[in-house]
Each structure stands twice: as structure tokens, then as C-alpha cells.
């Protein structure tokens, strides 16, 4: 027999729940067990709560996206405004530089011409300087014209004194004769085009000791032009609304050649005849010659940009 052999029959068996464990640090008769808190059914996420949480998260994301897009839109709008402002300033600077270039070119031409011709050339240059923006309207049309006038014109009396000093009494522009008629033509032109601006491009020697001036004018087709230049288009019975819709508010570029003839005996201008082209820019806007012909059919302006005079075509104000 093996000494100290453990005999299972010697063990005393008792249920675990009734066993007592005596430890130095424990005064309890039963062991302690760590237990998890009971799981409540209400704490378990349901399908509807998950779906609602997803919807709310998507809404928050969508709102954040909208805010981000709005910030981007405002940033782009601000950037575009700044770009437009810079572009407008640049265009103004370009126009100013072009004006200065034209002045210097004309001054150079005046310095290089023969002394006998200097008086006629300087007269032509001064004429376009004084009448660059047309003339102030007379007293009868001034109240109507004041609301649309956007340019600073030379005083009417200064212009008149210049004509008296440099033009022959029977001077003609190819359509009218006399200083009064010339001033009336300028007044009518400024009435039709409140933003009138005649830019002198160059001066050249023409045939028979004449001077040829090349000009250009950027003009806006306004209600004033339709009212006084093309009144038949504005009448209700004309049925020209499709033409008016194409023209109103549009800008056109008109190039002209002005032939000055000088009376060397009296040192005065005998004539200055304008030759312009209104057909080309209007054809570009209207797209067909039939509508262009209708525009000029009963107009007070000719295709050559001349004022048609007549007893039945006086400027009448309401």
C-alpha cells in the first residue's frame, strides 16, 4: 500500500452553495461574484430609432453642404464684382490713354504740316473738340433732355462764337445751309443720342486742298432716338414691335468721314460734309434688309446719318 495515498472516500462532499471558504481577508461565509447590470429591453436600439438617427444625420450633412455652397456662392459673387470693377477701371484707363494718343497724334500732325495749312487743320481739330458731345439743347427742349443728359458739353455760346469766327455765313454740311441750321442739326443729333460722343480718329489731306477727318461714334439706340429719329416705329398702328424689340438698348458703332473745304481767301470753312454708314450696324442687329429699309422709310435720319428737314418733320414735344 502506497503511503499517503489519497482515498477519495475520505473526502467529504458538500454542495458548493453550502461551502464556506475561510480566508484571512474575508469575513463572509459566501464568495462574491461580479455581475453585469440587467439588460433592459428599452435600451436596445430599434429599427425606427436607427432610421430616425440616420435621417437626422443626413439632414445635418445636407444643411452643412448648403451652408458651404452658399459661402462659395457669396465668395464667387464677391470675386466677380471685384473683377468687374477692375475690368471697368481698366477699360476707362484704356479709353483715356486712347484719347491721349489721338491728341498727341493730332498735335504731331499739326506740327508737321505746312504753315499755310496750319490754320485749316487747327480749325478742324478745334471743331471736333467743341462739338464732341453735341450741343446743349435749346430752352424749349432742355427740361425734357435734362433727365437723360449724361455728358458735360461745351457751353453753347462758346460753340456759336467758334462757328462765327471760322465758318462762312453760307457754310453747309451737305444737307443744310447756314450757321443756324448747322446748330439745329447738332441739337437734333444730341436730342436723339443723349450719350453722343464723336471721337476724332485721324486727319488727312484730301483732294483739292480739302481735309478729311475720320471719326467714330458709339451710340445707344434709346427711346429718344425712336421718338425723334424714327417716330413711325413708335406709332401703335405701325406694328413694328418686333423691330423695336431688336433695336432698343443696343449699341452701334458708326464710322464717318468728314470732308472740310477751306476758303483760303477768307480763311474760313466753306463746307464740312459728313459721310456715315448707319445701314451696316442696323443690318447686323435686324438681320435682313427688309426691316432696315422699313426703319428708314419714314425716318428723320437717313442711312448716311443726315437729318431730314421738312415742314412735316419738325421736332415737336408733347
Q: Which fold has domain 88-313?
A: Nuclear Transport Factor 2; Chain: A, (3.10.450)
Question: Which own/partner pairs from 228-231 qualify as long-range (CB within 8 Å, at least 24 positions apart)?
Answer: 228/188, 228/191, 228/192, 228/300, 228/315, 229/192, 229/299, 229/300, 229/301, 230/295, 230/299, 230/300, 230/301, 231/298, 231/300
Residue 99 confidence (pLDDT) = 74
Phi, psi of 13 (to 5 degrees): -100, 130
Q: Domain spans of the chain?
A: 88-313
Question: Which own/partner pairs from 105-113 qualify as long-range (CB within 8 Å, at least 24 positions apart)?
Answer: 105/202, 106/200, 106/202, 106/203, 109/203
Residue 44 binned pLDDT confidence (cut-offs 50, 70, 90): low
The span from the CA of 7 to the CA of 77, in Å, is 97
Q: What is the pLDDT of residues 166-222, one digit of tens each?
A: 999 999 988 889 999 999 888 888 888 888 888 888 888 888 878 999 998 888 999
Higher confidence at residue 8 or residue 55? 55
- What is the DSSP secondary-structure string of 137-193? --TTTHHHHHTT--S-PPPHHHHHHHHHHHEEEEEE-SS-BSHHHHHHHHHHHHHH-
Q: What is the pLDDT of residues 118-164, one digit of tens each?
A: 578 888 888 998 998 888 766 444 444 444 444 456 788 899 999 99
Amino acid at each position: 500500500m502506497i503511503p499517503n495515498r489519497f482515498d477519495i472516500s475520505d473526502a467529504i462532499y458538500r454542495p458548493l452553495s453550502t461551502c464556506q471558504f475561510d480566508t484571512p481577508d474575508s469575513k463572509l461565509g459566501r464568495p462574491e461574484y461580479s455581475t453585469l447590470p440587467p439588460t433592459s429591453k428599452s435600451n436596445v436600439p430599434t429599427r425606427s430609432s436607427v432610421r430616425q438617427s440616420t435621417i437626422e444625420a443626413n439632414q445635418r450633412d445636407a444643411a452643412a453642404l448648403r451652408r458651404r455652397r452658399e459661402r462659395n456662392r457669396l465668395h464667387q459673387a464677391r470675386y466677380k464684382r471685384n473683377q468687374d470693377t477692375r475690368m471697368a477701371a481698366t477699360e476707362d484707363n484704356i479709353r483715356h490713354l486712347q484719347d491721349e494718343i489721338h491728341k498727341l497724334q493730332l498735335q504731331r500732325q499739326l506740327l508737321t504740316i505746312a504753315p499755310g495749312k496750319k490754320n485749316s487743320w487747327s480749325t478742324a481739330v478745334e471743331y471736333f473738340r467743341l462739338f464732341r458731345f453735341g450741343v446743349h439743347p435749346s430752352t424749349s427742349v432742355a427740361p425734357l433732355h435734362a433727365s437723360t443728359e449724361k455728358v458735360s458739353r461745351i457751353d453753347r455760346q462758346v460753340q456759336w462764337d467758334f462757328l462765327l469766327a471760322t465758318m462762312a455765313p453760307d457754310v453747309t454740311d451737305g444737307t443744310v445751309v447756314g450757321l443756324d441750321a448747322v446748330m439745329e442739326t447738332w441739337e437734333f443729333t444730341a436730342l436723339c443720342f443723349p450719350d453722343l460722343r464723336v471721337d476724332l480718329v485721324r486727319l488727312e489731306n484730301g483732294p483739292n486742298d480739302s481735309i478729311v477727318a475720320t471719326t467714330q461714334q458709339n451710340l445707344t439706340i434709346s427711346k429718344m432716338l425712336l421718338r425723334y429719329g424714327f417716330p413711325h416705329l413708335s406709332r401703335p398702328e405701325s406694328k413694328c414691335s418686333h423691330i423695336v424689340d431688336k433695336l432698343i438698348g443696343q449699341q452701334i458703332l458708326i464710322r464717318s468721314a468728314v470732308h472740310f473745304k477751306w476758303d483760303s481767301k477768307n480763311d474760313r470753312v466753306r463746307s464740312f460734309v459728313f459721310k456715315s454708314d448707319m445701314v451696316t450696324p442696323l443690318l447686323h442687329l435686324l438681320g435682313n434688309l427688309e426691316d432696315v429699309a422699313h426703319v428708314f422709310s419714314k425716318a428723320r435720319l437717313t442711312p448716311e446719318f443726315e437729318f431730314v428737314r421738312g415742314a412735316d418733320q419738325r421736332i415737336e414735344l408733347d
